[in-house]
Structure 1
Amino acid sequence: MITYIEKGDIFTLTDVTSFAHGCNCAGAMGKGIALQFRNKYPEMYLEYKELCKNGEYIPGDVFDYDYGIGHIYNLATQLTWRTKAKLEYIEKSVTKMLDLASEEDVTKIALPAIGAGLGGLEWNDVKDVLEKASANYPNIELYVVESYQSGNTISE
């Protein structure tokens, strides 16, 4: 199931401790929400960068980082920061994320409008992919913040 939130900050959602975001496979987290993840979880960033450097993180992959009280699902939605995201990469990585979350008993995941900002895709196309992928996981609630706005605590 998906709950869409028009404006907010994924890190301020009440009772949500697992997060996802779209990444490139080149080891760069220098803009947008990826930069926020890099700053909040520097050790995750170093592991991600090493995976990219070694060619172990390819489009459609998920780098699952357990930070102690939740998971960060780094979704490989773009080849590089210069290229656009692809719907097939989003579908593959979101499905992998949902499989992992199901195995790890994660029931709530917050994420931004992946692929639609710096990724360059049409948001309605991405929403269709998310709806299709999440339909098979009724026990996992996705909270999608469609537009970033700081300072608001959002509760369910």
Structure 2
Amino acid sequence: MNIIEAGDLFESDAQTIVNTVNCMGVMGKGLALNFKNRYPRMFKEYSNICRKGLLDIGRLWLYKTENRWILNFPTKYDWRAPSEIYFLEAGLEKFMLTYRERNITSIAFPLLGASNGGIDPDISLNLMQRYLATCDIPVTIYLKFKAENSGALFLTGL
């Protein structure tokens, strides 16, 4: 497992990158807003999936483009509410049970739930390391996301 102190998740060599989302269809700030701006078609599909009630905690949605796969990982139910540790656990458990059958060959995660979600970064990292320790594909965790074209750093995750 590779831990990157600060970097651009979008520049990762991983086949799949993780977008932390809520279940309400809103990508209004943080890393999710970057995904919305870069992948507007994905955002439209995500909004429709949420409107139909098909995205929930512990349910991961894999969106595929020609060059990149995006694993939409709910870390909150409502964008206005904080993340909960068991939300992260449910998603990490689902990931570990399904990444092989989804043909995910490498993955880059932001620090789950630690920015707008309000979870302590050390708790998030420890939880991720525990769940992902037995993953047999390359895993990278970005602790801080460097926003494109700015020197600003912020904790990753929703």
**TM-score normalized by structure 2?**
0.86
Equivalent position of 1:54 in the other structure? 52
Aligned positions of 1:3-152 closer than 5 A: 3-13=2-12, 15-137=13-135, 139-150=136-147
SS at match of 2:113: coil
AA matched with 1:116: A
Distance 1:56 1:149 in 2: 31
Structure with bigger RCO (C-alpha 8 Å, 6+ apart): 1
Cα offset for 1:151? 5.7
Distance 2:51 2:147 in 1: 32
8 Å Cα contact 2:15/2:105 also seen in 1? no
Identity level (%):
30
Stretch moving more, 91-100 or 23-32:
91-100
8 Å Cα contact 1:98/1:140 also seen in 2? no
Once superposed, which parts of structure 1, at least 4 consecutive aligned residues long, lie more than 6 Å away? none
8 Å Cα contact 2:114/2:121 also seen in 1? yes
Distance 2:130 2:71 in 1: 19
Distance 1:141 1:98 in 2: 13
**TM-score normalized by structure 1?**
0.87
RMSD: 1.7
Q: Deviations over 1:18-67 (max 9, x none)?
A: 10022111110010110111111111111111111111111221111111
8 Å Cα contact 1:58/1:76 also seen in 2? yes
